[in-house]
């Protein structure tokens, strides 16, 4: 090979590598939009971010803390966080390590000097070096959803006393024992920066053309929000900032209001941020796989797969989950893309791998083969499924062929749902709902459930072996009633709960919400009694 051709080949190879490294991030931003006073709708948007225009700021991942449980949780998530930082760094993003009050430890570190020597920006915002208590009057009026006025320590008092003594014996201040960032998080002295200063951080971002900022670390309800490099300052001053919600933690004591578990308290703070401060993302959007979960979080994982328009379940189900499931379950929402070329794509469907319960509200989608395989593997493992309304024909195209590279599951209704869906009565008919006498134990009600649904009556006869009907429904002028809700013991041994209810108005019925919540709980009961 002559010299010119050799150089050409090298340039092609280098170009390919650069292209791979610099591939845009595909970020799924979750926020909550207020449609009426006090009523929020979960909205997911897809954005392409250039890695070179993106920075990851690591907030206060200290080596030690006055709360022993906080130290343990940092230790748990720091390996996943380090993997995230490494992946972002390799793709060309700036990594800013911000262990507040620890700059003395790093005074000779090249990454610290890099932050100090960043060119002064011409647009340094006023007040950027200050702690920011609230983003605006709207957030302040809403207030925090948890009470952390006690400092948020959730240690057992006796264990905490032992821990404080240990810190003292180490020569550390038991109230502020941090000296450096936790060692698990690697710092690249040739690329990264270290600062806890608002102006230095802003100079870094501006000098490197950073438009997008990912905040991760601890603690969400305090430092992550309020620091000079935190979410509020970044949002206020025009950065496209997000919280990486699966790589964070709160300072919250479950003995304080609203007296929920520590992990539910974190979820409430994340929800607050999505409503009032900025969107959130998860680490799998860069690393792949499923979002991170703490091993000490005892809640079962419910993954909601939502892909239908008519019944607005992308609005009703997040509200239902927040009110009825969050105390005992960790909920993940996976939405189908908008109608169009990618209507069969569910971004983030990899979360199904980690699901204890799969909750389906999908209508006639042919998933990419690998995505549908995840659903099949969940079912084949004997894991529970909950379905509402159009879930009976979730993966059916009425016998039509799937697009290339996609697949359908025409037997899904018979094999997984346990139904016999063959259509529905006209929309002009109102469905009268009534529970069967034998359903009282399952529904947890002494009185029979009775209400009128706003949705048409689905035809689901005849019943199938393994199916136990809980609700029946009828419409005026039609002789035969139809089963509306049932449990189903599948051939693989797994449990399914299904209801053909799920109209928007059904979620206004207390009995319907209670039944759905009971169904999810029933799915994970051991032994599961039908």
Answer positive or negative: Cα dihedral of 275, 277, 283, 284. positive
CA atoms within 13 A on the CB side of 107: 4
- CA–CA separation, 87 vs 283, rounded Å? 10
42-51, 245-254, 288-297, 446-455: least confident range: 446-455
List of residues 6+ apart from 245 with CB closer than 8 A: 30, 270, 273, 280, 281, 282
Can the peptide bond before residue 219 be classed as cis, meaning omega within 30 degrees of 0? yes
In the DSSP assignment, the letter for residue 134 is -
Tell me the whole-structure pTM to 2 decimals: 0.90
End-to-end CA distance of the chain: 74
Indicate the SS3 state at residue 521.
helix
Q: For residue 359, how far is the Cα from the chain centroid?
A: 15
User: Yes or no: is domain 300-524 CATH 3.40.50.300?
Assistant: no
Q: How buried is 376 (Cβ within 10 angstroms: 0-12 exposed, 13-18 middle, 19+ buried)? A: middle
On average, the pLDDT of the chain sits at 92
Res. 445 pLDDT band, cuts 50 70 90: low
Distance, in Å, from the CA atom of 3 to the CA atom of 61, rounded to the nearest integer, reads: 51
Alpha-carbon distance 181 to 428, whole Å? 64
| Number of neighbouring beta carbons within 10 Å of residue 133 | 10
Beta carbons within 10 angstroms of residue 124's beta carbon: 15
CA 293 to chain centre: 10
- Measured CA to CA, the distance from residue 509 to residue 503 in angstroms comes to 11
Q: How do residues 274-312 score in pLDDT, each as one tens digit?
A: 999 999 999 999 999 889 999 999 999 999 999 998 999
CA separation for the pair 300, 235 (Å, rounded)? 33
Of 49 and 431, the one with more pLDDT = 49
In the chain, domain spans:
21-34+50-287, 300-524
Give dist(CA 366, CA 454) in Å, integer. 28
Phi then psi for residue 88, to 5 deg, are -65, -40
Euclidean distance between CA atoms 313 and 321, whole angstroms: 11
Nearest to 443 by CA among 489, 389, 484: 484
- In the prediction, which pLDDT does 329 show? 95
What does the pLDDT read at residue 527?
A: 58
- Kindly report, residue by residue over 153-199, the tens digit of the pLDDT: 999 999 999 999 999 999 999 999 999 999 999 999 999 999 999 99
Fold held by 21-34+50-287:
Rossmann fold (3.40.50)
Is residue 231 predicted with pLDDT exceeding 80? yes
What would the pLDDT profile of 490-525 be if each residue is shown by its tens digit? 999 999 999 999 999 999 999 999 999 999 999 999
Peptide bond connecting 297 to the previous residue in cis, omega within 30 degrees of 0:
no
How far is Cα of residue 236 from the mean position of the Cα atoms in its chain? Answer: 24
Do the domains spanning 21-34+50-287 and 300-524 agree at the CATH topology level? yes
Judge residue 126's burial from the number of C-beta atoms within 10 Å of its C-beta, 0-12 exposed, 13-18 middle, 19 or more buried. Answer: exposed
């Amino acid at each position: 090979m002559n010299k010119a051709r050799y150089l050409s080949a090298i340039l092609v190879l280098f170009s390919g590598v650069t292209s791979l490294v610099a591939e845009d991030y595909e970020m799924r931003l979750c926020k909550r939009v207020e449609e009426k006073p006090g009523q929020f709708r979960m909205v997911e948007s897809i954005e392409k971010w250039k890695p070179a225009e993106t920075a990851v700021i690591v907030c206060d991942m200290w080596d030690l803390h006055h709360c022993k449980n906080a130290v343990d949780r940092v230790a748990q998530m720091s390996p996943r966080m380090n993997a995230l930082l490494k992946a972002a760094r390799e793709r060309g993003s700036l990594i800013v390590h911000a262990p507040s009050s620890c700059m003395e430890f790093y005074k000779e570190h090249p990454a610290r000097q890099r932050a100090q020597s960043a060119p002064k920006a011409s647009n340094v915002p006023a007040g950027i070096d200050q702690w920011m208590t609230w983003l605006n009057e709207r957030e302040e009026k809403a207030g925090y959803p948890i009470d952390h006025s006690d400092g948020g320590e959730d240690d057992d008092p006796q264990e905490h006393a032992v821990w404080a003594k240990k810190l003292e014996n180490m020569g550390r201040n038991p109230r502020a024992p941090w000296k450096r960032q936790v060692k698990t998080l690697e710092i690249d002295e040739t690329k990264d920066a270290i600062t806890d200063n608002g102006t230095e951080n802003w100079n870094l971002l501006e000098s490197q053309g950073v438009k997008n900022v990912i905040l991760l670390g601890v603690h969400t309800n305090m430092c992550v929000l309020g620091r000079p490099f935190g979410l509020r300052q970044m949002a206020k001053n025009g950065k496209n900032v997000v919280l990486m919600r699966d790589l964070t933690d709160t300072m919250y004591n479950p003995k304080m209001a609203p007296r929920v578990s520590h992990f539910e308290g974190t979820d409430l703070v994340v929800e607050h941020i999505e409503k009032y401060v900025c969107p959130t993302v998860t680490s799998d959007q860069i690393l792949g796989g499923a979002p991170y979960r703490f091993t000490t979080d005892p809640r079962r994982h419910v993954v909601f797969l939502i892909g239908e328009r008519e019944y607005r379940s992308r609005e009703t189900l997040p509200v239902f989950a927040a009110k009825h499931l969050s105390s005992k379950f960790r909920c993940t929402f996976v939405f189908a893309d908008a109608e169009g070329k990618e209507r069969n794509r569910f971004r983030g469907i990899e979360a199904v791998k980690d699901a204890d319960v799969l909750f389906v509200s999908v209508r006639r989608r042919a998933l990419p083969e690998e995505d549908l395989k995840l659903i099949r593997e969940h079912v084949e493992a004997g894991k529970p499924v909950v379905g509402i309304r159009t879930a009976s024909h979730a993966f059916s195209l009425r016998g039509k062929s799937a697009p290339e590279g996609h697949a359908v599951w025409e037997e899904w209704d018979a094999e997984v749902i346990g139904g016999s869906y063959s259509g529905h009565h006209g929309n002009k008919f109102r469905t009268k709902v009534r529970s069967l006498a034998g359903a009282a134990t399952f529904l947890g009600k002494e009185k029979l459930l009775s209400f009128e649904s706003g949705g048409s009556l689905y035809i689901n006869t005849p019943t199938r072996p393994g199916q136990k009907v809980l609700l029946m429904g009828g419409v005026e002028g039609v002789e035969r009633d139809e089963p509306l809700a049932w449990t189903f013991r599948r051939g693989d041994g797994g449990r399914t709960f299904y209801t053909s209810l799920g109209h928007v108005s059904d979620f206004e019925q207390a009995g319907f919400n209670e039944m759905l919540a009971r169904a999810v709980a029933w799915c994970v009961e051991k032994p599961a009694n039908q």
